[in-house]
Structure 1
Amino acid sequence: MERAAVGILMLETNFPRPLGDIGHAHTWDFPVHMRAVGGASAQKVVHQDPRALFDAFVQVGRALVAQGCTGLTTSCGFLSLMQDDLKDALGVPFASSSLMQIPMIEAMLPANQQVGVLTISKESLSAAHLHAAGARDDVPVEGLPRDGAFATAIFEDLPEMDVTACHAEMCEMAQRLVSKHETVGAIVLECTNMAPYAADIAEITGRPVYSIVSFLNWFQAGLAPPRF
């Protein structure tokens, strides 16, 4: 059986996408088709209401389905706000955000543990985003510094990114998350650009780490189950 293609509704960006990022084609060992959604900047989607861009996402999503994609996703975890509306409008399985993994992960953790979230913007990640992803709205959340290397590169859409500084920020904030919340038994990375750092976050915190990569590998496996 030919492996099913996943369509990725990309934000309109220019910042670097290293291996492991959702926007790096070699991150995936299955076919992906990527299309940018006009006007969908990281600033608009994270700091404003992305639902204002609903029609643009529908147009691009339908084009990806016409291209042969049997499942769709997005390149920003904050788009969980449009999960219900977009899945109905697009008519195929739709996975808006890595945050959707939270309920399944918590179902696997011991009763005295919970999921913690590392996000690009703690002040913008609301209870509404979590609820739309099917998660509890009181999960522990830690964010990256707004003026740090990672957030600056993403929100200012810079052509270069200091990967070493980003790595240090990720590890520091992940350690802060588990230090402040000792019950955190697993970490979900909200931002699709955080996945390149997942292995180091897992190593330094001693917790399993789930990202858009873990989510989409699971998602695609159901679209095209292996034949044995």
Structure 2
Amino acid sequence: MKPEATVGILMLDSRFPRLPGDVGNPATWPFPVRYGIVRGATPDRVVMRQDPDLLGPFIDAGRELVRDGATGITTTCGFLSMFQDELAVALSVPVATSSLMQVEMVNRVLPAGQRAGILTICASTLTAELLAKANVPDDTPIGTTEGGREFTRAILENRFELDVNLARRDNVAAARSLAAAHPDLGAIVLECTNMGPFAADIAADTGLPVYSIVSFLNWFQSGLAPPAFG
């Protein structure tokens, strides 16, 4: 019997709490995962500065995960679409860096006249280049938790504590504003891998399908280890 695929997850150098539903919490996954921390890759350096000097450390950490048995590689930040092409060249297994890569696919399954929107932790630094790296259409609606009371600041400042209820309110309020501003919105894709714990709350409040790193990696892993029937 073929062994079950192991997804290697390149972790930011972070200390904020990782709730069930967060990519960095092993309890989120119904399949084997292996984590590798990229030292120095803080939320600030990745999201705010998009530091190109981090490429080498990400490649090194990815290669180590592959040596340890990972059969596919992902990351813990949607902004790492910036390294999608380079990691795909450097590593010998499939690479899915960013939840943003779902936007194009979600658009294809929505009813005519509807489109997917993005909810991001930081709209002010989510550049056209990062979106293009994930094949996100130019006119995609974008909402953000930036300016909220808790979520964006706690994550980007890499705090030890997170007020979960306030973070949930930030996410739901941002999604509600996004939906209200775009009547043609048919689904929401969560850029931030720390938004997964709030996906169900967002879906319940907006009435829209919500896609996150959780949906993306369940799909990703299902191809690495297809189920056997019969």
* Residue pair 1:118, 1:142 contacting (<8 A) in 2 also: yes
* Residue pair 2:115, 2:186 contacting (<8 A) in 1 also: yes
* Residue pair 2:20, 2:27 contacting (<8 A) in 1 also: yes
Match of 1:115 in 2: 116
Match of 1:11 in 2: 12
Shift of 1:111: 2.2
Shift of 1:147: 5.6
* Residue pair 2:148, 2:170 contacting (<8 A) in 1 also: no
Instruction: Find the aligned partners of 2:50 and 2:20 in 1 and give their Cα distance.
Output: 29
* Residue pair 1:50, 1:81 contacting (<8 A) in 2 also: no
Instruction: Find the aligned partners of 1:122 and 1:38 in 2 and give their Cα distance.
Output: 25
Match of 1:159 in 2: 160
Match of 1:76 in 2: 77
Q: Percent identity?
A: 50
Letter in 2 for 1:145: E
Shift of 1:67: 0.3
Match of 1:192 in 2: 193
Instruction: Find the aligned partners of 1:140 and 1:88 in 2 and give their Cα distance.
Output: 30
Q: Report the 3-state secondary structure (helix = DSSP H, G, I; strand = E; otherwise coil) of the residue aligned with 1:8.
A: strand
Asked if 1:131 is matched to 2:132, the reply is: yes
Instruction: Find the aligned partners of 2:219 and 2:177 in 1 and give their Cα distance.
Output: 29
Structure 2, unaligned runs of 5 or more: none
* Residue pair 1:75, 1:192 contacting (<8 A) in 2 also: yes
Residue deviations 1:116-139, cap 9 Å, x none? 100000101111111100111220
Letter in 2 for 1:209: V
Letter in 2 for 1:46: V
Residue deviations 1:13-61, cap 9 Å, x none? 0000011100101100100000110110000100112432010001000
Asked if 1:44 is matched to 2:75, the reply is: no
Structure 1, unaligned runs of 5 or more: none
Residue deviations 1:63-118, cap 9 Å, x none? 00000000000000000011111111112100000000011110011220010100
Match of 1:61 in 2: 62
Instruction: Find the aligned partners of 2:56 and 2:106 in 1 and give their Cα distance.
Output: 32
**TM, length-normalised to structure 1:** 0.98
Q: Report the 3-state secondary structure (helix = DSSP H, G, I; strand = E; otherwise coil) of the residue aligned with 1:216.
A: helix
Alignment of 1:149-228 (within 5 A): 149-228=150-229
Instruction: Find the aligned partners of 1:35 and 1:148 in 2 and give their Cα distance.
Output: 30
Task: Count how many residue pairs are aligned between Structure 1 and Structure 2.
Answer: 228
Instruction: Find the aligned partners of 1:74 and 1:148 in 2 and give their Cα distance.
Output: 26
Letter in 2 for 1:119: T
* Residue pair 1:10, 1:37 contacting (<8 A) in 2 also: yes
* Residue pair 1:127, 1:138 contacting (<8 A) in 2 also: no
